[in-house]
Chain A
Amino acid sequence: MDRIDKYLTFYDKILIIIIVAVTLILIAYPFIDAYLSENEDTDAFIYIKDSSKEVRRIPLSDTYQENPIFIEIDGPLGTSIIEAHNGQVRLKEAPESDPAKICEKTGWISRPGPSIICVPNKVSIWIERTNTELDAVSW
């Protein structure tokens, strides 16, 4: 090691120490942050966007009631009925004139990631948490 030592100046060593310290802190920070917020109740919201680009936000915790919540969304084809119950949401009834009714067949969603999208009626439904967990970062 004394060979390398010969070439390093005092400020080089300080620079190396600063880089190691800063990177280790920045690497550890997301893990510590995740660990601390693990016990907190994460706030999830149901987002519903309709044809007028208006977004409604409903806390997922509101759906844990005896009766499901029904929301009616008017789109170009007619009225879509959305049902939210026990932390899940689905598009219960698509308008009669919707040819494929894909959104109805999507069924229940309960976590961030999948979304219900009805293109003809311009309705989209998804779930988001306020502190988003990343699935993966690809390079």
Chain B
Amino acid sequence: MRTRKIVIIALLVGLGLVLHLVENMLPLSFIIPGAKLGLANIANLLGLILFGFIAGLQILLLRIFLGSILAGTFMTINFYLSLSGGLLGYLVMSLFFYYFRNKFSLIGVSLGGAVFHNVGQIITAYIIISNQAIFYYLPYLVLLALPTGVGIGLIAIFTYNYLPRELKRIDV
């Protein structure tokens, strides 16, 4: 089981990496600069559901480090933005997942993650440029995080339903 777990976590990291890079090619920033689909969050959301908090965190961190090295943004502002947003979003997702799972479906979990991803990014952006006007931008990002968060939640549910039964720890 242990080898199997490592292999599947590695596959999820690979999945997240590809989604991370594909996402950068999509020109969603035309609508609202800085907005993203958050496709890569599918990987760590699945890791969280399948193997728990630690596995999801491993997938998230590996994906962000490797993804930024591959995209050439390591240790730049982009990297810090995605690291802070990813961590805060993931913490909120696991909070929702572990403590409110009888109330929220995966859509709610992913929505919470999407909203707090943006909150984390805006706080980091504020620390970098130290202009509090940046907070006026937060509602626009959060409003756009709503459809993407719901979409990511739906994708996670559909993907989970197609996974082999012996992987599933819980019902979604």
Instruction: Mark A residues whose CB is within 8 Å of B.
Output: 4, 7-12, 15-16, 19-20, 22-24, 26-27, 30, 134, 137-139
User: Within 8 Å CB of A24, what residues of B?
Assistant: 139, 143
Instruction: Mark B residues whose CB is within 8 Å of A.
Output: 33-34, 100, 103-108, 111-112, 115, 131, 133-134, 136-140, 142-143, 146, 150, 153-154, 157
How far is it, in angstroms, between the C-alpha of A23 and the C-alpha of B142 when the chains are bound? Answer: 7
Number of A-B contacts (CB under 8 A): 64
How far is it, in angstroms, between the C-alpha of A97 and the C-alpha of B58 when the chains are bound? Answer: 65
CB-CB nearest 7 A-B residue pairs:
A26-B139, A11-B103, A139-B33, A12-B108, A23-B139, A23-B143, A27-B139
When the two chains form their complex, are residues B143 and A27 in contact, meaning their CB atoms are under 8 A apart?
yes
How far is it, in angstroms, between the C-alpha of A138 and the C-alpha of B157 when the chains are bound? Answer: 36
When the two chains form their complex, are residues B146 and A19 in contact, meaning their CB atoms are under 8 A apart?
yes
The one of B107, B115, B131, B138 that contacts A8, using a Cβ cutoff of 8 Å:
B107
How far is it, in angstroms, between the C-alpha of A16 and the C-alpha of B139 when the chains are bound? Answer: 14
When the two chains form their complex, are residues A20 and B103 in contact, meaning their CB atoms are under 8 A apart?
no
User: Within 8 Å CB of A4, what residues of B?
Assistant: 150, 154
When the two chains form their complex, are residues A9 and B105 in contact, meaning their CB atoms are under 8 A apart?
yes
How far is it, in angstroms, between the C-alpha of A16 and the C-alpha of B111 when the chains are bound? Answer: 8
A selection of 20 A-B contacts at a CB cut-off of 8 Å is: A4-B150, A7-B153, A9-B108, A11-B100, A12-B105, A15-B111, A16-B111, A16-B146, A16-B150, A19-B115, A19-B143, A20-B146, A23-B140, A23-B142, A23-B143, A23-B146, A30-B136, A137-B134, A137-B137, A139-B137
B123–chain A nearest beta-carbon distance, Å: 15
User: Within 8 Å CB of B106, what residues of A?
Assistant: 7
Given contacts A15-B112, A24-B143, contact A7 B33 (CB under 8 A): no
User: Within 8 Å CB of B111, what residues of A?
Assistant: 12, 15-16, 19
- Nearest A residue to B112 via CB reads A15
When the two chains form their complex, are residues B137 and A15 in contact, meaning their CB atoms are under 8 A apart?
no
User: Within 8 Å CB of B150, what residues of A?
Assistant: 4, 16
A136–chain B nearest beta-carbon distance, Å: 10
How far is it, in angstroms, between the C-alpha of A135 and the C-alpha of B156 when the chains are bound? Answer: 41
